[in-house]
Amino acid sequence: MGKAAHWNNREDILSLIKRLVRVPSISGTTVENQMTEELVSILKEIPYFQENPDLIFEKKITGDSLNRKSVAALLKGKKGKSGKTVVLLSHFDVVGVDDYGHLKDYAFDSDQYMEKLKDTILPDDIREELDSGNWLFARGIMDMKAGLALQIALLSELGEDQNFEGNILLVSTPDEERNSEGMFAAVECLSELKEQHGLDYNLCICSEPSFASYPGDQSKYIYLGSVGKLLPLIFCNGRETHVGEPLEGMNATWMASTFTTNMELSELFLEESGGEQNPPPTCLKLTDLKEQYSAQTPTQAYVLYNVLTLRQTPAEVLEKLKLAAEESSETIHSKMSRMYKDSRGEPVSDLKPKVFTYSMLYNLGKERFGEEFESEIADILDQDTNVEFDYRQLTLEVAKTISSYFEDMAPFYLIMFAPPYYPHVSLQKESERDEKVLSIAESIIDEAKDMYNEELKLKQFFAGLSDVSYCRLMDAERVIPSLVSEMPLYGKKYKLPLKDIEALDIPTINLGPYGKDAHKRTERLELTFSTETVPELLKYALRAVLEFK
């Protein structure tokens, strides 16, 4: 790196960011393993870890077909033997680059990509930032290779500090952009290191970038938690018919589209906490399962929905999903009745879609079909998953199979949860420890204003989804039973370690760089604040936590 004794300076941080970005660690690929190797190699260049190589750890994701690993590095202060520990959390995977079009071969080299970008048509504001010299463009540069670089740079500086007291545990994960299973491995690692080294986790600082709260928002934020996420899969089991007799059956695509119409941006799922509101639900996938063209209407379709939460439990979300499905059923039945009466002069009687949850239909299957039914579902749940056949597809296979036993009850909606599940997390007012964290966050804002003339704002929830969701679990007794009953993969292929997460119970804040357009081809990082001010604020935050009495 540079000539300084450590890397916590603008020049070396920039060099480190570019080095990390050059590894195309797209989530769900073996290149994530190359990123693990590069990260470990970087850590071994730090003098402290050259002297203490046994304090760098790699933790495999259990059952991962790609054999990916999370990385941890423990820096123990040279003064005293304090158990106080700050966790620095990041992820090193990135989303794909298909959105870069003909420039995707340059997406991981910021210098080359910016040269190519100059010859393209861009909005005026992006063009201005490209030409300013104060922004870097590349995939993953904002989300979140820059945050990881900042944390490594801080580690390199404090490793040289003879008067540093306390511990820093850097944790970086793969797979955050898909299932966050890298964080599951990290939870296991955190639990083990806590016992082995007598660590007391006072705070987790994640360095995801600030996300715009609304179009055009250019504020910089400190987040005190993160939204949660549920991924409902709504399986639509119709009734087959010839296209010349559409009133004799139920088109599954109509069921799916009607549900989507009712569900998309539904206010039913909105909630507020401390003046903040969760984003409304939005569809991630809508498709029928008809493989070939024919004159038969589609009999199966499904919808995947993104539902973000601030306080709502899975059980509460499930009840709202049932309401949306019942409303969709009423809409369909009303139109069918009207059309049927117009053509036959009598009302339709049996084509109103029913609504079932997974547990309702599974229990009915056990009652009706016994061991044969249970065995077939168990065999499906035992199938191996991989990048091509993932948790969503396995959940779909369960839905298809269980529905096949109940064709006599069609049409119906079947509602279940698919992985991943992200618990919502925030600071708790009734907790003395969390109140200390809040006061530290407020002091960081004062420091930014007084020393660097930067205005930071506090927000309770990071809306971009984050691995901090797995640092603590709120209302475990209201969460786990619903996942057991309504998420077929929970505790089977999807080994979400909620009990271990509950035991860790680490409060979190997010303090990171500033950028724009995460997951877009114009993803970019602002440099002055990100490489000069944030390093000082991170150092201030860390010392504030470890020195807090």
pLDDT confidence bin for 344, thresholds 50/70/90: low
Kindly write down the DSSP assignment for every residue of 4-66, as one continuous string. SSSS-SHHHHHHHHHHHHTS--BTTSTHHHHHHHHHHHHHTTSHHHHH-GGGEEEEEPTT-TT
Say if strands 524-526 and 272-273 run parallel, antiparallel, or are unpaired. unpaired
Residues forming CATH 3.40.630.10 domain(s) in the chain: 10-218+514-547
Cα torsion 94, 98, 103, 109 to 10°: value is 10
Query: Could you report how far apart the first and last alpha carbons of the chain are, in Å?
Result: 36
pLDDT confidence bin for 2, thresholds 50/70/90: very low
Kindly write down the DSSP assignment for every residue of 201-227, as one continuous string. EEEEEE-PPP--SSTT---EEEES-B-
User: 220 pairs with which residues across the strands?
Assistant: 456
The rounded distance, in Å, linking the Cα atoms of 420 and 105 is 30
How much is the average pLDDT of 109-127? 97
> Who contacts 130 (Cβ-Cβ below 8 Å, separation ≥6)?
114, 117, 118, 122, 137, 524
Residue 329 CB: number of other CB atoms within 10 A? 20
The rounded distance, in Å, linking the Cα atoms of 269 and 309 is 8
Residue 349 has pLDDT above 60, yes or no: no
The rounded distance, in Å, linking the Cα atoms of 108 and 24 is 6
Residue 4 has pLDDT above 60, yes or no: no
φ/ψ of residue 490, rounded to 5? -65, 130
Residues forming CATH 3.30.70.360 domain(s) in the chain: 229-421
> Who contacts 223 (Cβ-Cβ below 8 Å, separation ≥6)?
208, 459, 460, 461, 462, 509, 510
Q: In 3D, which of 530, 409, 522 has the Cα closest to residue 116? A: 522
Kindly write down the DSSP assignment for every residue of 313-336, as one continuous string. -HHHHHHHHHHHHHHHHHHHHHHH
Least confident piece of the model among 124-138, 289-303, 413-427: 289-303
Residue 274 has pLDDT above 70, yes or no: yes
On average, the pLDDT of the chain sits at 94
Give yes or no for a contact between 11 and 149, defined as CB atoms under 8 angstroms apart.
Answer: no
Per-residue model confidence (pLDDT) at position 106: 98
The SS3 of residue 75 is strand
Condensed to tens digits (0 to 9), the pLDDT of residues 406-421 reads 999 999 999 999 999 9
Per-residue model confidence (pLDDT) at position 278: 95
Q: Is the dihedral of CA 289, 292, 293, 299 positive or negative?
A: negative
> Does domain 229-421 correspond to CATH entry 3.30.70.360?
yes
- Quote the pTM value: 0.93
How much is the average pLDDT of 163-190? 96
Give yes or no for a contact between 190 and 494, defined as CB atoms under 8 angstroms apart.
Answer: no
The strand ranges marked E within 153-268 are 167-173, 200-206, 220-223, 228-237
The rounded distance, in Å, linking the Cα atoms of 501 and 3 is 41
Tokens 């603590």, residue? 472
The residue type of 491 is: G
Residue 223 CB: number of other CB atoms within 10 A? 27
Residue 226 CB: number of other CB atoms within 10 A? 29
Give yes or no for a contact between 38 and 107, defined as CB atoms under 8 angstroms apart.
Answer: no
Tokens 């300084």, residue? 4
The rounded distance, in Å, linking the Cα atoms of 76 and 82 is 9
Q: In 3D, which of 400, 467, 420 has the Cα closest to residue 314? A: 420
How much is the average pLDDT of 381-400? 91
> Who contacts 213 (Cβ-Cβ below 8 Å, separation ≥6)?
219, 221, 459, 463
How much is the average pLDDT of 505-513? 97
Tokens representing 55?
């304090």
Residue 9 has pLDDT above 70, yes or no: yes
Q: In 3D, which of 237, 538, 514 has the Cα closest to residue 399? A: 237
Condensed to tens digits (0 to 9), the pLDDT of residues 58-84 reads 999 999 999 999 999 999 998 878 999
The rounded distance, in Å, linking the Cα atoms of 494 and 489 is 5
What fold characterizes domain 10-218+514-547? Aminopeptidase (3.40.630)
Per-residue model confidence (pLDDT) at position 70: 98
H-state helical runs in 454-497: 476-486
Residue 374 has pLDDT above 80, yes or no: yes
- Helix (H) / strand (E) element for 378: namely helix 358-381
How much is the average pLDDT of 499-521? 96
Per-residue model confidence (pLDDT) at position 389: 82
The SS3 of residue 231 is strand
Q: Which long-range contacts (CB under 8 A, 24 or more apart) does 40-46 make?
A: 40/71, 42/16, 42/152, 43/71, 43/73, 43/152, 43/155, 43/170, 45/1, 46/152, 46/155, 46/156, 46/159
The rounded distance, in Å, linking the Cα atoms of 461 and 508 is 11
